[in-house]
Amino acid sequence: MSDSLNIADALFARAAEAPSRVALIERGRRGERTTTYRELAGEVSTVAANLADIGIVPGLRVALMVKPGRAFFVLMFALFRAGAVPVLIDPGIDRRMLKQCLDEAAPEAFVGIPLAHAARIALGWARASVRILVTVGPRWFWGGHRYRDLAAGARSALRPLRHQDGAPPAATVGGASAPTRDATLAAILFTSGSTGVPKGVEYTHANFAAQVAMIRDAFDIRPGEVDLPTFAPFALFDPALGMTTVLPRMDFARPGNADPRELVEAIVRHRVTTMFGSPAVLELLARHGARLPGVRRVISAGAPVRPEIVAAVRALLDPGAAIYTPYGATECLPVAIVEAQEIETIGAAGTARGEGILVGRPVAPNDVRIIAIDDAPIAAFGDARVVAAGTIGEITVAGPTATARYFRRDAATAAAKLRERVAGAGERIVHRMGDLGAFDAQGRLWYAGRKSHRVETIAGPRYTETVEGVFNTHRAVRRTALVGVGARGAQRPVVCVELAAGEGADAWPRIERELRAIGEENRVTRGIATFLLHARFPVDIRHNAKIARERLALWAAQRLARDSGTERR
């Protein structure tokens, strides 16, 4: 890659190729708003120049809290173009965690909608660091700059910029992207915090460029296609890929609450070819049952998709359409990909047998290996033990999208990153996914669950996805969740059960007996004797699909203590 790489340049390349192509369609209560690539690139260029005028210069960290829409796209690419570092935090996470993330990131600029600014003042977000304010929408009493002025104002005078690492001022903001290098920090993206406190993942321009290339090649995406994303950050790849983005009317912070009628209408009206949705969105569409004509590929990520949901969605698509479930994480994406047909023919049976969730084969050029389970940091990959196919261990990835560190989290970086020397190629980062899995004899990767979620019993470890896949075969069960109660090493395995729609609690005694019988027939689940009925599992904020097992484990412990009469009163 070139030393002058800047991910914003991909947008301008697509705009030069097809300036009149529609880049963005926003569906709102008052109708639709369309933006061409020429308009998007022009506004990005103007905003980038004016950001520099107000002090947002290369290397400056900028908290961005803006709803999905034209301003969000413009600001992200303008910040990239200006060499600044956008900081993205899921606004739906716990307020205390959000404050901790912002204090940790210490942004010097805050760009947000009025509600975000009001919360910043009331809750003291990044109070010690923020000095530049930009409001997207009505500006109230806090002062600062208005986005509409930055977007509509006269272009700033062209002037050279000097990057934070001392790179020469080889370009100007007005005429080109600020000079950045492959390893220049491009953004800080915080994890969802579904398995702990959110961490800021450092993305370089090279990481982003590699993601665009790997997604394009893995899914065979062509310029001119139309994408309907229900997860806003994923849509940021669209302008770099030359796609048209259709933003439906929905709360992107709560995808599981989307109206399936709106999604279907948007798909049909705009001839959508690609749809990205969490498993919660796919389940909504499966229940709605309306056909999705013209959609060539459905991409779902964030949590495993149940085989029956995959089959139901496939029935809504045209013949030849594909459903992909890429596997990865904020720290490294994509890692592996599987198409739904393989899930239906091989994955469903394997999941029911207790092999876990089929996540497919590694995406080139990733180097995916499984190492022995170890909760301690490992400095060098040579100190880890690679396990054979068929053995469950921790999934590790080396590749161009494997990020190198967490922002100001040395302990977390040490726990998740290994360094490896490669003959003739120097040193590379190996990311520990924190996920457990195994390769089968055909080179397919099966996901067994989060390392932190494994249940350590006296008889040995139990893995969430392997256990749950067995019990989820019961027709009256919507989903199950394995949690551990007690001290690690002597934990009691407990299976929490959420019943399928239409199943009454009065049937629970019979269902519990049947689940116990199913468990005794499989070596993976044999010996599990505790089942607890739960009305509705708590799920993650970002995708509304990952089960919040920590909360379920606490609930299960309290429930068992109460049932045994030992709960303190």
Q: What is the pLDDT of residue 178?
A: 74
With b for 16 or more beta-carbon neighbours within 10 A and e for fewer, the 246-264 pattern comes to: bbbebebbebbebebeebb
Same domain (yes/no): 40, 145:
yes
Q: What is the pLDDT of residue 113?
A: 97
Q: What is the pLDDT of residue 87?
A: 97
Same domain (yes/no): 68, 166:
yes
pLDDT tens for 11-63 read 999 999 999 999 999 999 889 999 999 999 999 999 999 999 999 999 999 99
Cα dist from 240 to 37, 41, 50, 79, 143, whole Å: 11, 11, 22, 15, 34
Q: What is the pLDDT of residue 544?
A: 61
Q: Hey, what are 121's tokens?
A: 């003042």
Could you give the number of structural domains in the chain? 3
Q: What is the pLDDT of residue 167?
A: 37
Same domain (yes/no): 439, 470:
no
Can you point out the beta strands (E) in 506-565? 530-533
* Calpha distance 69→249 (Å, rounded): 11
Q: What is the pLDDT of residue 542?
A: 60
Same domain (yes/no): 446, 464:
no
Q: Answer whether residue 322 is part of any domain.
A: no
Cα dist from 307 to 348, 350, 507, 520, 545, whole Å: 6, 11, 25, 23, 15
Residue 499 · residue 510 · CB < 8 Å = no
- Domain region containing 504: 459-563
pLDDT tens for 110-147 read 999 999 999 999 999 999 999 999 999 999 999 999 99
434: pLDDT strictly greater than 50: yes
Q: What is the pLDDT of residue 566?
A: 55
Residue 141: partners with Cβ closer than 8 Å, 6 or more residues away: none
Residue 500: partners with Cβ closer than 8 Å, 6 or more residues away: 475, 476, 477, 478
Last residue of a domain, one of 203, 223, 252: 203
Pairing state between β 367-371 and 455-457: unpaired
Cα dist from 513 to 143, 494, 509, 520, whole Å: 64, 15, 6, 11
Q: What is the pLDDT of residue 181?
A: 66
Mean pLDDT of 476-501: 96
Mean pLDDT of 386-394: 98
157: pLDDT strictly greater than 80: no
* CATH number for position 413: 2.30.38.10
Side chain identity, residue 274: T
Last residue of a domain, one of 168, 203, 238: 203
Q: State the pTM of this model.
A: 0.91
Q: Answer whether residue 214 is part of any domain.
A: no
Mean pLDDT of 289-295: 97
* Calpha distance 505→483 (Å, rounded): 21
Q: What is the pLDDT of residue 455?
A: 98
159: pLDDT strictly greater than 50: no
Last residue of a domain, one of 139, 174, 203: 203
Q: What is the pLDDT of residue 541?
A: 66
Residue 10 · residue 240 · CB < 8 Å = yes
Same domain (yes/no): 446, 465:
no
Mean pLDDT of 407-414: 96
Q: What is the pLDDT of residue 266?
A: 97
* Calpha distance 325→309 (Å, rounded): 12
Burial class (CB in 10 A: 0-12, 13-18, 19+), 408: middle
Look up residue 386 and give its DSSP letter. Answer: B
* Calpha distance 379→306 (Å, rounded): 36
* CATH number for position 111: 3.40.50.12780
Contacts 24+ apart (CB under 8 A), 368-375: 368/335, 368/336, 368/395, 368/396, 368/397, 368/445, 369/396, 369/398, 370/394, 370/395, 370/396, 370/437, 370/438, 370/439, 371/396, 371/432, 373/436, 373/451, 373/454, 373/461, 375/451
pLDDT tens for 245-286 read 999 999 988 888 899 999 999 999 999 999 998 888 999 999
Same domain (yes/no): 39, 173:
yes
Q: Answer whether residue 103 is part of any domain.
A: yes
Residue 547: strand pairing partners: 539
Q: What is the pLDDT of residue 174?
A: 43
Side chain identity, residue 534: H
Same domain (yes/no): 42, 71:
yes
* Calpha distance 273→531 (Å, rounded): 43
Residue 450 · residue 194 · CB < 8 Å = no
Look up residue 295 and give its DSSP letter. Answer: -
Residue among 164, 187, 190 at smallest CA distance from 103: 190
Residue among 385, 238, 393, 394 at smallest CA distance from 329: 394
Cα dist from 503 to 311, 476, 480, 500, whole Å: 22, 7, 15, 6
Confidence band (pLDDT; 50, 70, 90) for 516? very high
Same domain (yes/no): 448, 475:
no
Residue 462 · residue 454 · CB < 8 Å = yes
Q: Answer whether residue 25 is part of any domain.
A: no
Q: Answer whether residue 272 is part of any domain.
A: no
Q: Answer whether residue 248 is part of any domain.
A: no
Q: If you average pLDDT over every residue of the chain, what do you get? A: 91
Q: What is the pLDDT of residue 182?
A: 72
pLDDT tens for 456-488 read 999 999 999 999 999 999 999 999 999 999 999
Q: Greatest CA separation found in the chain?
A: 75
Same domain (yes/no): 422, 493:
no
Pairing state between β 327-329 and 332-337: antiparallel
Q: What is the pLDDT of residue 162?
A: 37
Confidence band (pLDDT; 50, 70, 90) for 171? very low
* CATH number for position 478: 3.30.300.30
293: pLDDT strictly greater than 50: yes
Same domain (yes/no): 82, 151:
yes
344: pLDDT strictly greater than 50: yes
Same domain (yes/no): 530, 422:
no
Q: Answer whether residue 522 is part of any domain.
A: yes
Can you point out the beta strands (E) in 197-250? 200-204, 226-229, 244-247
448: pLDDT strictly greater than 60: yes
* Least trusted range by pLDDT, from 195-199, 408-412, 471-475: 195-199
279-288 helix and 260-269 helix, angle to the nearest 10 degrees: 90
Same domain (yes/no): 434, 558:
no
Mean pLDDT of 178-192: 84
pLDDT tens for 217-248 read 999 999 999 999 998 778 888 999 999 999 99
Mean pLDDT of 297-326: 89
Q: What is the pLDDT of residue 175?
A: 58
Q: What percent of the chain has pLDDT over 90?
A: 79
Confidence band (pLDDT; 50, 70, 90) for 154? low
Q: Answer whether residue 288 is part of any domain.
A: no
168: pLDDT strictly greater than 70: no
Residue 426: strand pairing partners: 422
